[in-house]
Amino acid sequence: MPGIGNDVVALHAINVDRTIQYRFYSKIIVNSEKLIYDQSLASFLPFEHFVWLAWSIKESAYKCLQRYQHDLVFSPSNTLIKQVQLPESRYESTTEGIGFDGVSVCKAVVNSGHHQLFSRSIITKDYIFSVVNDTDVFSKTCWNIKKIGSNDREEQSMAVREMLLHKLHELYPADQFKIEKSLFGFPVLLKNSTEADFPVSFAHHDHYAGYAFVPDN
């Protein structure tokens, strides 16, 4: 089963003053990542957005791997971003798709332990939405990011599940789907009462929620 993980950061919910303090950002990025920012990204991306971009990539990488390594601990300092390629435009308006062709995305390579993972991130003025995959092929990745009315955690959780079920009904009209939660916290998709052959990933932060999955054939 392939791995996938996603994350969203609502940018109006972050504390900019706190983020740019060394004491804060050094818990998320390490010196080599700060160097990547200073050398090639500083002209294009506010530092606080880079810090949260790194967070969203690392959190997505954790979700991608934790499904198969249940005892994995989320460790930003041990999840290292090696390359970052920013999009030409930061004002992407696409909020849903299959693959990222034609979408302005930030591409990155991230290492966690002996795993090399790949990410695509959409950075807008409102949010950063990342998807991490264990291959650099995202052409079949279904994703969606949506602003929802409530920032209540339970309502966010329900909203993103409804978004996914709606998409699955479009893709597989003859099948019944149900979403459960594993003992280890990640979502498990049941297709006609049997665990589906593809993992799904959910994320929500403040008023934004999104999912990612790679459907089977």
SS3 category, 130 = strand
**Is 114 one of the binding residues for other proteins (CB under 8 A)?**
no
Q: At 21, which amino acid appears?
A: Q
Pick from 24, 44, 47, 198 the residue near other proteins by CB under 8 A: 24
The backbone torsions φ and ψ at residue 169, rounded to the nearest 5 degrees and listed phi first, read -65, -35
Shortest reach from residue 124's CB to other proteins, in Å: 17
SS3 category, 90 = coil
Cβ contacts of 186 within 8 Å, gap of 6 or more = 63, 66, 67, 199, 201
CB under 8 A: which stretch of 42-50, 113-121, 133-141, 149-157 binds other proteins?
149-157
Angstrom distances, CA of residue 197 to CA of 3, 117, 200: 11, 20, 10
* CA quadruple 77, 26, 7, 44: dihedral, nearest 10: -120
Pick from 1, 32, 69, 75 the residue near other proteins by CB under 8 A: 75
CB under 8 A: which stretch of 108-116, 138-146, 151-159, 170-178 binds other proteins?
151-159
**Is 166 one of the binding residues for other proteins (CB under 8 A)?**
no
> Which residues from 31-70 bind other proteins, rule CB under 8 A?
52, 55, 59
State the residues that interact with other proteins by CB under 8 A. Answer: 9, 13-15, 18, 23-24, 27-28, 52, 55, 59, 73-75, 77-78, 152-154, 185, 205
